[in-house]
Structure 1
């Protein structure tokens, strides 16, 4: 495969799909809130750096456990990239995250760094506990705050936005771990989704994402988009449908939120 090798291994070790999704979400919110081209680039860059640090540290921290479980699909355990290279990249990502966040202002930077710290807390300990959902809920709730606190007057987002962010974080957590449930159990990672099982986790992901979307943009458009994949997720909980339902609900809600000026003007 083309991705086999140090560069491809490094790219895969950062968990590229979730990292890209969160970065695009943050940049879209920044643009919609009126941060301008420079502010949007700073926001996207800071979030991207933070996500890279979380993704790489995740594989570094889990390396021994993945080796014991025979996870040759992971870049580090599969020999695609060295631990030293991933560690160095993680350090650079942390440095860039701090600098780019600081460029957005003290209040915004503080909130974003707390969100990134929540991701690290998940990697270090919480992912294997009943509280595995909490860092996701906190980090996603703080993401729109990172955007608005960089605006003039440093306003906090409306309460529905904070609540929807927390719900989307829970949805993202359950949907993201679904494909790896069996491998995680083999590696003795017993977070809440691993304990709940595939069907309950898929349903939780879809319901949380739909609730978040309805909180941001009540109405039939959200239900029309999310209902079909939600039903399919119940029938095929081991597939990618719960994840697609989360993406669909997020996209619809974010689009309606930005069209209504929700971050900038409130509700």
Structure 2
């Protein structure tokens, strides 16, 4: 046995951290109690034996604090998202306004171009109509002059006194229909329109003509109104765009299905001077 075994150790045993914290808490509570008692009573007062427990860290609401922090972060994120969406909407509105302005400018440009084109087309049409009227007036003047100077009794524009052959058949058929009614699209036997009568008259001579007036006036060769022969096709308007046709029957006259008021008539060229004539025979 050691000669020092009976001597007790002077080393204090190590205390755990939890026990130290507990003792500190108790000491703090006691000191707090003493301080309160000293401030409240006289120096010779009886000591207060009641203690007041001080709150510790464990009693704080850590979960509530975390929830508040999370809610604040979520609110900040939502505000940032709202601002981003608002910015995108503003950009979209600006782009839409720009596109609409550009589309309107393009539409205005096209409309202006169309108006200009219509104006040019109208001016050209008026020019052509004026030229056609001038040409008809000139030919009418020539025919009138020739008619006033003719003392032989022969027909103005006639190269022969009477039609013969196919021309005679055409003229005879046309004159036989004088007095018939005018009906748009009529092809006989008792009602006609202008091109229907011409087509039927030429069929008597064994010649098939197109049905429409501007197609008929495009056939054969063009002849002057001063050199007409019986059987020639007269037209009103332009040769490739005529709106009325009739048959020259000699003697300065023609037969045609004029309109619903007159029907099929035989009239002098002076009554309605044609624009031109074609010879198909």
Work out which structure has the larger RCO, using CA pairs closer than 8 Å and 6 or more positions apart in sequence.
1
TM category, shorter? under 0.3
Q: Which one has the largest radius of gyration?
A: 2
Structure 1 or 2: more strand by fraction: 2
Taking structure 1 as the reference length, what is the TM-score of the superposition?
0.23
- Normalised TM-score (structure 2): 0.22
